[in-house]
Amino acid sequence: MQKMRVSRFWVLLLVSCFFCKSKGAIVPALIMFGDSIVDVGNNNNLLSIVKSNFPPYGRDFTNQTPTGRFCNGKLAVDFAAEYLGFSSYPPAFLSREARNEDFLIGANFASASSGYYDATSVPFGAISLTRQLSYYRMYQNRVRGMIGRERARTMFSKSIHILSAGSSDFLQNYYVNPLLNILNTPEQFSDILMRSYSEFIQNLYELGARRIGVISLPPMGCLPAAITLFGAGNKSCVERLNNDAIMFNTKLETTTQTLMKRHSGLKLVAFNAYQPLMDIITNPYDNGFFETKRACCGTGTIETSFLCNSLSLGTCSNATGYMFWDGFHPTEAVYELLAGQLLSQGISLIS
């Protein structure tokens, strides 16, 4: 785990210069949109088939509590909140426990199984990005009512907005939907997603957001469930899925640069999550891991959401050395490492 400890040290050192000028958090708030990579429990009370508010999810989180995070513990955005000086995490917008004042440090609108393509969320009962944006407008009105219009405007413009989407669009829609994959090549489908991404950023900008980070696709072909579903019996990463992720990420970076030039005062960063995760896969022991193919939960090949439960046979007793917690999602240990990598890429968002 030496590399992970060093990474965290440098991240904390990197942001410490900002703390010397201010008390508390570096930015006013953190606001999250997207899918299960950043979802902290919005699906809990929905009629959704994609949930994680039950054991063994959350077994390494505070008080061993399952919160709706698709992980054994903290997500990358939780670690990022800590690194940025927050003493608590922005609550799920649909949380029944959160109080009004809890939302003054931000809000999380993400919903597992949502994507850039709104239709992706429908079969799973998830909250589409369009609906998440609608909730964000409601949230803005709530904040204005608490602190006033001018303070709220400053808060929204200086807060960091995080977007994570795309994996569900491919893995839970495009690859299994003949109506999409027969009519569109992966490149053409990516172009459709880029239009949705551009529209989403445009809408956020019009609502006053000026600091936005978007998380790239991971090596999709190396997710245990992807290997099981699309690997044709092989146990190695599915190369064509990884190639699609690389292609998508290239388009994401190009589109991001175009949006930056188009919108005055916009700080927009495309976080490269692909390479740090691939580095773990290709050099697991150097990064403190020993298992990168099999997930911790159950058989480690497919289990996610309700299939990953307290009765799942074979669940590992200690997830620290595992890269994946369930069939689609990393462990807390990976998220800790990833948070440091992404924060170092996004210094422009806090400077």
Q: Give DSSP secondary structure letters for 193-214.
A: HHHHHHHHHHHHHHTT--EEEE
Q: Is residue 96 part of a domain?
A: yes
Alpha carbons 218 and 22: distance in angstroms, whole number:
34
Alpha carbons 149 and 29: distance in angstroms, whole number:
16
- Cβ-based neighbours of 346, under 8 Å, separated by 6 or more: 160, 213, 269, 271
Q: Is residue 6 part of a domain?
A: no
Q: Is residue 297 part of a domain?
A: no
Q: Is residue 245 part of a domain?
A: yes
Q: 201: domain CATH number?
A: 3.40.50.1110
Please write the tens of the pLDDT for every residue from 306-340.
Answer: 999 999 999 999 999 999 999 999 999 999 999 99
Q: Is residue 95 part of a domain?
A: yes
Helices assigned H by DSSP within the chain: 2-19, 76-83, 129-147, 149-158, 167-171, 178-181, 186-206, 224-230, 239-262, 274-282, 332-345
| pLDDT for residue 38 is more than 90 | yes
Alpha carbons 275 and 295: distance in angstroms, whole number:
20
Q: How confident is the model at residue 195 (pLDDT cuts 50, 70, 90)?
A: very high
Interval 141-158 mean pLDDT: 98
The pTM of the full predicted model, rounded to 2 decimals, is 0.94
Q: Which residues are catalytic?
A: 36, 326, 329
Q: How confident is the model at residue 3 (pLDDT cuts 50, 70, 90)?
A: very low
Alpha carbon distance, N-terminus to C-terminus of the chain: 30
* Structural domains in the chain (count): 1
Return the percentage of the chain with pLDDT > 70, whole number.
Answer: 93
Q: Is residue 281 part of a domain?
A: no
Q: Which domain holds residue 95?
A: 30-224+239-274+331-349
Q: Is residue 283 part of a domain?
A: no
Please write the tens of the pLDDT for every residue from 73-121.
Answer: 999 999 999 999 999 999 999 999 999 999 999 999 999 999 999 999 9
- Between these two residues, 21 and 43, which has the higher pLDDT value? 43
Interval 172-181 mean pLDDT: 97
Please state the three-class secondary structure of 136-189 as a single string: HHHHHHHHHHHHCHHHHHHHHHHCEEEEECCHHHHHCCHHHCHHHHCCCCHHHH
Interval 190-197 mean pLDDT: 98
Q: Is residue 18 part of a domain?
A: no
| pLDDT for residue 163 is more than 50 | yes
Interval 235-257 mean pLDDT: 98
Inter-residue contact 284 to 290 (CB < 8 Å): yes
